[in-house]
Structure 1
Amino acid sequence: MDQKTTTGRTSDETDALIRLLDIGDNLPGASELRARSYQLLGIEPDAAVVDVGCGSGRAVAEMAERGARAVGVDSDQRMITVAGQRWPAGGFRLADAYKLPFADGALQGYRAEKVFHVLDDPGRAVREARRVLAPGGRIVLIGQDWDTFIIDSDDPALTRTIVHARADLVRSPRVVRRSRNLLLDAGFGDVTVEVHTAISNDATMIPVLADLAKGARSAGAISDAQYEAWLSDQRERGQRGRLFLALPFFVTAATRQ
């Protein structure tokens, strides 16, 4: 039997999530977005940096290549195992965003990508980030607004239903709208917000669209027939290079005062 991880996911479910994250890591502009996050962190040689919710560890490896003492933490043991296998030189630890394994003021950088939407209390995570950052340390949060998948379809009403129903399954689907205020409330300064939009026109993103539709169907928002018809249309568009998916990612950065 497939055992549950510490996150409540089975290892098979975690592996499916890793496949989706891998797709996202290879979207047009994804590499540039990660590089921008490292620039906003102001990574310097030997700086101590954490990647919270590190997943399969790519960002940790890339920050280490830039000279940082980067550590990845994740609350899913399967993620930590995969990260260690992919990046054996990296440092990875099992921990969650509410209780990081670092002393007060021990870090110069805190990064979290596609993480805060799964938290039930993002404000608590921001306060924990402030605790582990030294004065002058930088925080960078990257995330999507789950209500703003922009998808071309012959049935826009059904598409809206799918997007919003899938968003409602997420703990904090619109946290990026609050991220600036969360940082200000926690006493951070120099808060900035940027948006970087990934656009896909081919079948690469079909697994992501399938996940959206599957979630809407599981929530009872659409029928099996609607699921099949909508996804069939998106697959056909992808095969012809006529798919259109635009996904804005918001980058919120600040300095620990």
Structure 2
Amino acid sequence: MNDFFNPKMAAQQERMARTEDMMRQRSKHMRVLSPKSGEKILELGSGNGIFARELAERVRPGGEVIGLDPSEAILEMARHIYPQGEFIQGDAQDLPFEDRSFDAVAAAQVFCFLKDVDQALAETYRVLKPQGRVVILDTDWDTLVWRTRQPELMARVMDAYKAVYANAYLPRTLPHRLSQAGFSNIKVKSFVVLNRGLGEETYARQSIGFATSIMEGSPEFSKEEQTCWLEDQEQLERNGDVFFSLNRYILSGRK
């Protein structure tokens, strides 16, 4: 395990975190969360640990940030990138914390993977202090506009892409779910990830990598179809004809 997340991979994660799209996303998430010095904050799905590291800077002095993730491999990466952080293994649907433990709970692209969103929201509510805040960033994948000259193949690729998520359209139901869980003062903000090229620093390029890995692991796509799809995107890049637009939503509530 310790050999899996090496300095090279850590550097790659750091480069990705500094891309314009990812910096903008974290900035918007941070602005809504509005962490304050002395607060205790839980990040669900802490991933590479970079957002937890930035949060920790905001809650000093006297504050604390705990990152939680179900994957020990992912936690190992977070500990490699942010050795001073506190990261523990756990399930957002069964949080290993006492009632009223945190001032705020943050999550980005996490709830869409959960089988029981309502249970996770109930657990989030339970571990928050009175007047505590929850801030969830997630995506409705029906909002994706992705230029292609292979529409039938792209439709199949996107069906496979969306199937990775337990709920690929979560933001449209989250306001009501938050209310049902007991949260008040529920607010929704949105922003657009818009790329007109496929540079290494774009979310579109990351999405191509994700889609390619899905196709490679699926018997539904032949090698020829994988090549055709990728060549179409690269040709659009050469022609200056890339268009990738995706809505992201930030939902917040208070206990």
TM-score range, shorter chain: 0.7 to 0.9
Which residue does the alignment assign to 2:205? 206
Which residue does the alignment assign to 1:253? 252
How far apart, in 1, do the equivalents of 2:30 and 2:205 lie?
Answer: 29
Aligned residue type for 2:230: L
Among 88, 93, 97, the alignment partner of 1:93 is 88
- Gapped runs of 5+ residues in structure 1? 4-10
Among 38, 49, 69, the alignment partner of 1:46 is 38
Range 184-193 or range 138-147, more displaced: 138-147
Pairing of 1:1-257 with structure 2 (within 5 A): 25-67=17-59, 68-200=63-195, 201-204=197-200, 205-216=204-215, 218-219=217-218, 221-238=220-237, 241-256=240-255
Contact kept in structure 1, 2:141 and 2:246, CA below 8 Å: no
Question: Cα RMSD (Å) of the superposition?
Answer: 2.7
Aligned length: 244
What is the TM-score normalised by the length of structure 1? Answer: 0.84
Counterpart of 2:122 in 1: which secondary structure? Answer: helix
Aligned residue type for 1:80: L
1:196-236, Cα deviation, whole Å (9 max, x unpaired)? 11122124243421422443565555443222111111123
What is the TM-score normalised by the length of structure 2? Answer: 0.84
Aligned residue type for 1:236: Q
How far apart, in 1, do the equivalents of 2:17 and 2:155 lie?
Answer: 25
Range 98-107 or range 232-241, more displaced: 232-241
Contact kept in structure 1, 2:99 and 2:128, CA below 8 Å: yes
1:162-190, Cα deviation, whole Å (9 max, x unpaired)? 11232123222222222111101101011
1:24, CA displacement in angstroms? 6.2
State, as a whole percentage, how many aligned pairs show the same letter: 23
How far apart, in 1, do the equivalents of 2:14 and 2:20 lie?
Answer: 12
1:126, CA displacement in angstroms? 0.5
How far apart, in 1, do the equivalents of 2:17 and 2:144 lie?
Answer: 17
How far apart, in 2, do the equivalents of 1:145 and 1:23 lie?
Answer: 26
Contact kept in structure 1, 2:70 and 2:91, CA below 8 Å: yes
How far apart, in 2, do the equivalents of 1:155 and 1:76 lie?
Answer: 36
How far apart, in 2, do the equivalents of 1:231 and 1:119 lie?
Answer: 30
1:155, CA displacement in angstroms? 2.1
Aligned residue type for 1:28: E
Residue 51 and residue 149 in structure 1: after superposition, are their counterparts in 2 closer, same or farther (change >3 A)? Answer: same
